[in-house]
């Protein structure tokens, strides 16, 4: 199982951080590619010093692009990658089952992104081997997997199955709603994938304070060492299920105290590394 990390979020990552990620044992980077930023973000990975495989994300965030448009833009990225001599995958969409857009309750529309892209890619002999990744569902609960099942129905070949396994403040062994064990979750996911590769394109825990329990009356805050332990345990579940990629969220902490700014493997105040920065080396050991 290869270990990737989310970084950049539509901005250049920089040679210093890319080299750091290599040193930390990561195999690849998941990078958002907004419209109009394709060439500058792809070109980073053409540097001969970089040996990280990119997973470029099209139509991420709130998924504001239409399905056919996102599919066509994925083919444009593929052509640029070919011209720059860069090998990698392209993920289309991000958590479509909770997106505040037409995708949320319409998995068949989301599937159009891939049918559009594959039709164009397969007409060009230079691009026929380009692999696409289905944008990861929010998590592997019953609702998320039902959505994914509808997306996969009729999905073109040469597509990997993306998924996220977030469980906020709970430990990895706690199953999602609709399942009695984590193994049951993955059994259902494997069945839906139908032999396609499984790619976990986001997973992480944050260190911000959270309210849980009935009426949010209980406060929970994970330590940096707990987050590392949870990532290790989650990696075991994914590897046992046969996942090909395990993608940590994310490189940097943010400036705010909001929970989304506390997933990083690197602290914001002094740029020092947290224990979780060792996750790729631990997986590789």
Give the domain range for residue 259.
Answer: 2-284
Q: Say if residue 258's pLDDT is above 90.
A: no
User: H-type helices in 139-256, by residue range?
Assistant: 142-152, 182-193, 224-240
What pLDDT was estimated at residue 257? 84
DSSP state of 272: P
Quick one: pLDDT at residue 220?
Answer: 86
Q: How far apart are CA 22 and CA 251, in angstroms?
A: 12
Please tell me the predicted confidence (pLDDT) of residue 216.
62
Looking at mean pLDDT, say which of 167-176, 192-201, 254-263 comes out highest.
Answer: 192-201
Number of H helices, E strands in the chain: 8, 10
State the average pLDDT for the chain: 96
- What CATH number does residue 169 fall under? 3.20.20.80
Residue 149 backbone phi and psi in degrees, to 5: -60, -40
pLDDT for 48 equals 96
**What pLDDT shows up at residue 214?**
58
Confidence of residue 100 (pLDDT cuts 50, 70, 90): confident
Q: Tell me how far apart the alpha carbons of residues 23 and 53 are, in angstroms, rounded to a whole number.
A: 14
Q: What pLDDT digit, counting tens, does each position of 201-252 carry? A: 999 999 998 877 655 667 889 999 999 999 999 999 999 999 999 999 999 9
Percentage above 90 pLDDT, the chain = 91
Q: What is the pTM of this model?
A: 0.97
Domain count, the chain: 1
Indicate if the pLDDT at residue 53 is higher than 60. yes
């Amino acid at each position: 199982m290869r270990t990737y990390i989310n970084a950049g979020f539509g901005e250049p990552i920089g040679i210093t951080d890319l080299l750091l990620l290599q040193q930390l044992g990561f195999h690849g980077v998941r990078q958002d590619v907004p419209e109009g930023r394709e060439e500058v973000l792809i070109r980073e990975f053409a540097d001969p010093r970089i040996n990280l495989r990119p997973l470029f994300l099209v139509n991420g965030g709130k998924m504001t692009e239409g399905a056919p448009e996102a599919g066509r833009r994925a083919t444009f990225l593929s052509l640029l990658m070919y011209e720059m001599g860069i090998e990698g995958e392209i993920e289309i969409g991000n958590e479509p089952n909770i997106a505040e857009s037409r995708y949320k309750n319409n998995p068949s529309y989301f599937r159009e992104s891939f049918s559009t892209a594959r039709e164009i890619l397969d007409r060009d002999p230079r691009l026929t081997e380009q692999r696409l990744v289905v944008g990861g569902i929010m998590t592997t609960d019953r609702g998320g997997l039902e959505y994914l099942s509808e997306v996969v129905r009729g999905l073109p070949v040469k597509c990997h199955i993306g998924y996220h396994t977030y469980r906020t403040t709970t430990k990895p062994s706690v199953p999602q709603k609709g399942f009695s064990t984590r193994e049951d979750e993955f059994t259902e996911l494997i069945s839906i994938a139908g032999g396609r590769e499984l790619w976990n394109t986001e997973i992480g825990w944050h260190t911000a304070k959270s309210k849980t329990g009935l009426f949010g009356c209980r406060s929970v805050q994970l330590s940096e060492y707990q987050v590392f332990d949870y990532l290790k345990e989650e990696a075991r579940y994914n590897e046992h299920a046969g996942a090909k990629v395990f993608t940590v969220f994310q490189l940097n902490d943010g400036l705010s105290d909001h929970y989304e700014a506390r997933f990083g493997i690197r602290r914001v105040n002094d740029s020092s590394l947290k224990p979780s920065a060792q996750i790729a080396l631990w997986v590789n050991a």
